[in-house]
Amino acid sequence: MNAVLRGQLLSIGRALAFVALALALCGGIFTLAGYSATSMFVNIAAGAVLAPHAFVHTLRWTMPLFLMALGVLLTFRFGYFNIGAQGQFYLGGIAAAFIADAWRAGPPLLAIPLTLLAGIAGGALWAFVPGLLRIRSGTDEVITTLMGNFIAALALVYVTSGPLKDPSGSGQVAAGRPVAAALRIATSSGVSFTLIAIVAVVGVLVWLLVDRTAFGILGSLAGRNPVMVRWQGAPSERIAMTAFLVSGGLAGLAGALELLGPSGRLVSGSAPTLGFGAVLIALVCGLSVPGAAIVAVFFGGLAAASLYLPVIAGLPAAAIDIINAAITLFITARAWPRMPRRAQRRRTLESAPQRERVAS
Amino acid sequence: MTAVACDDVSVAYGEVLALRNVSVAFERGRIHAVVGQNGAGKTTFARVCAGIVRPTTGRLAIDGREIRVGDVGAARLSGVELVHQSFALPPSFTVAEAMEFGSTRRTGPVYSRRALERRWRDHLASLDVAARPGDRIRDLPVETQQGVEIARALCSDARVLILDEPTAVLAPPAIERLFARIRRLRAAGVTVLVILHKIHEVLAVAETITVLRAGELVATLLPAAAMNAGDLAHAIVGSANVGATIDVPAPHAARDDKLPALELLGAATRATPDGPPLADVDLTVGHGEIVGIAGVEGNGQRTLVNAIAGLCALSAGRLNCGGRDLTRTSLLERRGHGLRIIPFERNVEGLSLSSALWQNWSARLLVAGRQLRLVDPQRLRGLCRSALERWSVRFASVDQPAGALSGGNAQKTIFAREIDDDAMLIVAAQPTRGLDIAATAFVWAALRAARERGCGVLVISSDLDELFDISDRVVVMLSGRIVGEFCAPYDLGAIGAAMTGASSAALTLATP
Amino acid sequence: MIEALVGILGAATPLIYVTLAGVLAQRSGIPHLGLEGLMIAGACAAVVASKQSSSVAFGLAVAIGVCVLGSLLLWFVIEKLRANPIIAGLGLTGLGLGGSDLAIQSIYGSEGAVRAPFALPHLGAWAGEFAGLSVLVLALPFVVGLLWLALRRTRFGLRLAASGEHPFAARSVGADPAQMRLIALALGGVLCALGGAELALGSLDVFSIGMTAGRGFMAFAAVTFGAANPLGASAAATFFALAEYLGIKAQLVLGSAAPPELLLSLPYLATIGGVWLSTRLRGGINRGSTISELREY
């Protein structure tokens, strides 16, 4: 057990070190672009926690990020690069908006669950197609899920400027009709008991699914070595498909909660970096469900800051994108750069037989 | 005059010392054998000589001139070439491309395909390699690939050729041809270092014998003419205790032994990337019987195991286990009826090296039953721990990754997972490949113990000595067909002939 | 007809340059998902530098410098820090997208588009109907041909392919796969810069934030579609450009009869279809390592 604990601590330490390295790189970029790195980081901290109500905003973004990260984490664990959480989030929102719009006068106790289910179904559908293509014919899911993101963004534009267009809306951004007030489960602050309860229950369920069922443990094994699991006779295709569907469903649920919660309506091009953030959370937490809850707060803070920066501090929100990107660049690193001299000799010599095993 | 000289070479992989203070000087123009058990450091030694592995300490001299260690380029310039055990040829390349990409010959910057193929056609012909320059590597049979690899090694005037376990992939007649080729090379003035582990092969080809044991030299440049098999065996193995005993996990419930554990009737499959399709395979494995499948690799053995596992559908014929027709069932159902598999690739098909031991061990339990049921990892850890202890696996913790185990312990872990009270038919594919003598003995004992308990056992191996040792019957496969069946005492000549299809008499030699 | 050809050439050229960068990387063993980021970085640097210096040549040089630097960063992270290439590539893409955004805001204080005072040199009157195309369009066949020759008909090409397909084989003949990947990525950086510059300065003379709109990812898909062969991948990229061109054309013809979003999504749909088709024809993907190998046990 001790070795495991040490291994975990080591990996957490390494993740933190690379996040620090990424932040240093960002500081360099900010300075190069003519901003003061210190004031940038201070303002980011203000936007995330220090400013009044900042933490509420952080929590508001933590919840969708957490849900989507759970989905990403599931497919990553099972060995698939589903990076289409953004598209699945949009599709979930769209499907939920149609139901919420059709049932605007329905009894909330029935209409709200139905809307959420529609969101789950929409997201799952958007993950079903890449999943099917991957499992049936081996089509690279990296490409299909990425393309799915672009198509979903266009679909959102279409829906908000077409079927669900808000006639009273004006301005540059197309937006859908507002959801009936009775169906809202949170105010625009985005934090309410219902919302937190739903997210917490889903988090526990996913944790059980991933860490405490035969499905989750076999799926994780398959993610590391699908061939071995096939030789055990596991229904690999069904496990993989389920992973894709659950993953898309979680992102879709986030989309539906966004609609019924803080947003209250569909907005085209809204929160365009949530999907990327979800991938990042999954990687930073080392694909652990409890870890994702903690890491999601950090990236929720960054998301809150990306709204704070341009509005309050007059700094570009792109700074947050850069921080996210730099962390992505480094987070999967497995080694420190080679040290010169003796250490270098050692590494070449160790790497030779390892790579050979991969090659042969 | 020395061709290759190592001075005080040591190689450490992490904590493990693969070679320890090896000093040896090989004379030019002879055939030198380097022998030892698996894990003795033979391959590492060959790679040090070829500049592919950089030793932790020590020096290397070629033709009396010291060269930089761990520098392939320098070694190749001095005329040292290595033929790898699993050949280092990109499978998508054509033969001519595979020759060209490693060549150091000076040519123009750009070649045309025709010029390239012309350039290497003569070279291949001069070495008697039966491949056309336009053939793709992946389409060639193993023996030809080896020929191409040797031709590649010799394309730039190699003066020292190192062959790493060249016989492991060849049938007996092909081994004879390889040895003839090695002798021709020696006659042409090439120094040959050949890594081997079978004693009769060493005595057949080598002029000097150097023995490695656990990374150390125990005998250097013994004249082969003066050696006998017994002394050599003693030098290789040392005084290691090879005896192994296995506790049979539990007394086996009496089975209905009237119907065989496995019955393949007229089985056929479609062609697969792994090898030729099965055609009209009739095979029976009774309870309490070990049946060996002999054959040159790539003659349908993998397809056979896939078909028995249900991972490759039968296009004709039937498969019965214990009298039940399982032709159309999934592997999961077949496992439910007592099928257990020790797969070919221990580290790919058998274990997930980066996953924890307990997960690897529990996989069989997890697959059976409903997928969404809750399981208790702590309980599985406990079950795994006691199972591994019963099979005397040496491990630190059930949470350690399977990749941290040695080959023998990894194989024992697979046995611990696969062999349980409900096992009825055990298919063991290359169960001892890459294992040292003690682990091999353990595996054999385990298979014999399974036989005593009434299981049917099917062993697929390319090592005839192994099959002769443990099988009650040996069946020979060639091109997806069964071409002969033999009972003890085994006739090596007849089996070898059947394996290569050299003699149609093989079928008549078969004893029913 | 000729007008259509001009339109398709204009849309295809930036995509093909970037695709070639992906081909180089793929053959050396790196699935290059940083193309999108390098492309937009190239476009941004070309516009900003030529605007600031009033010289297109200088702009191009800066773009090449930026993209090669980005490629070296990616190489360092993948090769020396052993990061997962797919995730690291996505990180580089994010860095390119965010960095170009930040640069435009810090220099021009605006969030919109930046107009360049110059375009790349155009073919001019002698080219007749093709006069409006830039010299990079003219150079394209030579670049494709040269790369094909280098990859398929030289020892360098064989060693590069071996580094991707069988690194151990490459190493055992003395070719260092890490070094081959460095060369491939650095050359790819140059190509991405050209692709980005052509996108911004070829016909529009403008840089706008996010203007690559997934073209880098499409280029990555074209590499898969074209089996990492320079000719095949270029053909695949042309096919995607054709879909883009048809979408734009259809918008003009159909007007509001068809939702513009559907037409705009044509290239993305074509990409999915193309990759699906290529895996049907050539068998599925074979990825060496999976993401969960990144996890401690």
Q: What is the pLDDT of residue B113?
A: 87
Using an 8 Å Cβ cutoff, are B457 and B489 in contact? no
Residues of chain A with Cβ-Cβ distance to B371 below 8 Å are: 213-215, 218, 235, 238-239
> Environment class of residue B403 by beta-carbon count within 10 Å: exposed (0-12), middle (13-18) or buried (19+)?
middle
Q: Note the pLDDT tens digit of each residue in A107-135.
A: 989 999 999 999 999 999 999 999 999 99
Q: Which two structure tokens, joined as six digits, stand for C191? A: 């190509």
In this predicted structure, the answer to whether residue C41 has a pLDDT above a threshold of 90 is yes
Q: CA of B187 to nearest chain A CA: how many angstroms apart? A: 32
Exposure of C160 in the CB half-sphere (CA atoms within 13 A): 26
> Environment class of residue A355 by beta-carbon count within 10 Å: exposed (0-12), middle (13-18) or buried (19+)?
middle
Q: Note the pLDDT tens digit of each residue in A272-301.
A: 889 999 999 998 888 889 999 999 999 999
- Tell me which of A271 and C42 has the higher pLDDT: C42
In this predicted structure, the answer to whether residue C291 has a pLDDT above a threshold of 50 is no
Least CA distance to C166: which residue of chain B? B90
∠A149-A151-A152 over CA atoms, to 5°? Answer: 65
Query: How many angstroms separate the CA atoms of B398 and B387, rounded?
Result: 11
Q: Which two structure tokens, joined as six digits, stand for A221? A: 């094994």
User: Out of A33, A77, A326, whose CB is closest to C95?
Assistant: A326
Q: Does C282 touch chain A (CB under 8 A)?
A: no
Which of B124, B127, B122, B144 has the alpha carbon at shortest distance from B181? B127
In this predicted structure, the answer to whether residue C97 has a pLDDT above a threshold of 50 is yes
B54 to A225: CB separation less than 8 angstroms, yes or no: no
Using an 8 Å Cβ cutoff, are B282 and B265 in contact? yes
Point out which residues pair with A293 in neighbouring strands. Answer: none
- In this structure, of A230-234, C12-16, C284-288, the range with the lowest mean pLDDT score is C284-288
Query: How many angstroms separate the CA atoms of A249 and A254, rounded?
Result: 9
Query: How many angstroms separate the CA atoms of C170 and C159, rounded?
Result: 6
Residues in CB range of B231: below 8 A, 6 or more apart: none
Average pLDDT over residues A250-273: 92
Long-range contacts of B182-190 (CB under 8 A, 24+ apart): B182/B31, B183/B31, B185/B154, B185/B161, B186/B29, B186/B30, B186/B31, B189/B29, B189/B159, B190/B29, B190/B154, B190/B158, B190/B159, B190/B160, B190/B161
Q: Which two structure tokens, joined as six digits, stand for B60? A: 């290397």
User: Out of C171, C293, C297, whose CB is closest to B52?
Assistant: C171
In this predicted structure, the answer to whether residue A350 has a pLDDT above a threshold of 50 is no
Q: What is the pLDDT of residue A353?
A: 32
The b/e string for B112-136 (b: 16+ C-beta within 10 A; e otherwise) is eeeebbebbbebbeebebebebebe
What are the structural domains, with CATH classification, of chain A?
Answer: 58-316 (1.10.3470)
Count CB pairs under 8 A between chains A and C.
198
Count CB pairs under 8 A between chains B and C.
61
For residue C119, how far is the Cα from the chain centroid? 20
Average pLDDT over residues C175-190: 94
Which of B46, B63, B64 has the alpha carbon at shortest distance from B55? B46
Q: What is the pLDDT of residue C287?
A: 55
Query: How many angstroms separate the CA atoms of A325 and A331, rounded?
Result: 10
Residues in CB range of A168: below 8 A, 6 or more apart: none
Q: Note the pLDDT tens digit of each residue in C111-123.
A: 678 888 778 888 7
Q: What are phi and psi of A72, to 5 degrees?
A: -60, -45
In this predicted structure, the answer to whether residue C22 has a pLDDT above a threshold of 90 is yes
Using an 8 Å Cβ cutoff, are C144 and C18 in contact? no
Which of B82, B119, B167 has the alpha carbon at shortest distance from C171? B82
Q: Does A147 touch chain C (CB under 8 A)?
A: yes
Q: Does A23 touch chain C (CB under 8 A)?
A: no
Least CA distance to A320: which residue of chain C? C98
DSSP-based three-state secondary structure for B473: strand
- Tell me which of A350 and A106 has the higher pLDDT: A106
> Environment class of residue A46 by beta-carbon count within 10 Å: exposed (0-12), middle (13-18) or buried (19+)?
middle
Q: What is the pLDDT of residue C288?
A: 45
Point out which residues pair with B82 in neighbouring strands. Answer: B162
Q: What is the pLDDT of residue B511?
A: 38
Q: What is the pLDDT of residue B108?
A: 78
Q: CA of B297 to nearest chain A CA: how many angstroms apart? A: 16
DSSP-based three-state secondary structure for B209: strand
Question: What count of other Cβ atoms lies within 10 Å of the Cβ of residue C99?
Answer: 26
Confidence band, pLDDT 50/70/90 cuts, at residue A4: low
DSSP-based three-state secondary structure for C112: coil
Q: Which two structure tokens, joined as six digits, stand for C107? A: 């220099």
Q: Which two structure tokens, joined as six digits, stand for C158? A: 């064989």
Q: Note the pLDDT tens digit of each residue in A187-236.
A: 888 889 999 999 999 999 999 999 999 999 999 999 888 889 999 999 88
What are the structural domains, with CATH classification, of chain B?
Answer: 2-237 (3.40.50.300), 262-352+423-509 (3.40.50.300)
Query: How many angstroms separate the CA atoms of C229 and C111, rounded?
Result: 39
ipTM of this predicted structure = 0.88
Residue segments in chain B with a per-residue pLDDT below the cut of 70: 239-257, 502-512
Q: Read off the DSSP letter of residue A314.
A: -
Average pLDDT over residues C175-179: 91
Q: CA of B217 to nearest chain C CA: how many angstroms apart? A: 25
Query: How many angstroms separate the CA atoms of A105 and B191, rounded?
Result: 91
Q: Note the pLDDT tens digit of each residue in B340-393.
A: 999 998 888 999 988 899 999 999 999 988 888 999 999 999 999 999 998 888
Query: How many angstroms separate the CA atoms of B156 and C269, rounded?
Result: 51
Global pTM value: 0.88
Q: Note the pLDDT tens digit of each residue in A145-172.
A: 999 999 999 999 999 988 888 877 666 6
Q: Note the pLDDT tens digit of each residue in A293-331.
A: 999 999 999 999 988 888 888 888 888 999 999 999 998
Q: What is the pLDDT of residue C134?
A: 85
Q: Which fold has domain C2-285?
A: ABC transporter involved in vitamin B12 uptake, BtuC (1.10.3470)
Query: How many angstroms separate the CA atoms of A112 and A96, rounded?
Result: 9
Point out which residues pair with C206 in neighbouring strands. Answer: C115
Residue B32 identity: H
Q: Which two structure tokens, joined as six digits, stand for A142? A: 């990296």
Residues in CB range of B311: below 8 A, 6 or more apart: A230, A231, B331
Report the mean per-residue pLDDT for chain A.
Answer: 86
Report the mean per-residue pLDDT for chain C.
Answer: 88
Q: What is the pLDDT of residue C128?
A: 78
Greatest Cα pair distance, chain A, in angstroms, is 74
User: Out of C155, C166, C174, whose CB is closest to B90?
Assistant: C166
Confidence band, pLDDT 50/70/90 cuts, at residue C297: very low
Residue A1 identity: M
Q: What is the pLDDT of residue B505?
A: 43
From residue C216, how far is each of C27, C248, C284 by CA, in Å? 17, 19, 22
What element of type H or E holds A87?
A: helix A85-102
